[in-house]
Structure 1
């Protein structure tokens, strides 16, 4: 997958903030727990349906979870 098609996400950060394991998230979404790992590492891009379900699970807009550009590092200010 080329850089222009890379999908960035905050799944691991959201899981950590909410003390949710990969298995708990996977069970809630109806996917294998390894799928959550693939998503977090950017090795797999979710379908639109799965992306929306993940955002719904965390009760945030999908743009908070996924982006086509890298998210700023924690503590960095965006211009």
Structure 2
């Protein structure tokens, strides 16, 4: 597991500095694996939300193509409304 905030650019040459509202993107795995749950190759990253400063775990699904952007926007809106209940 990689927990350093400094990323080796030789190991991860295509790693973006920002993804949407997230920055400080850092891989949490040293290799990319095929997910048993999703059936796609996935990778996991730690990222900081630029608006709140909170740290999140992001999962990238490699090779996935949307059939409808409207559907994904509805799903994202639903997740944004979800609140953590503790």
Q: TM-score, normalised by structure 1?
A: 0.27
Structure number with higher helix proportion = 1
Larger radius of gyration: 2
Higher relative contact order (CA 8 A, sep 6+): 1
Structure number with higher strand proportion = 2
Q: TM-score, normalised by structure 2?
A: 0.26
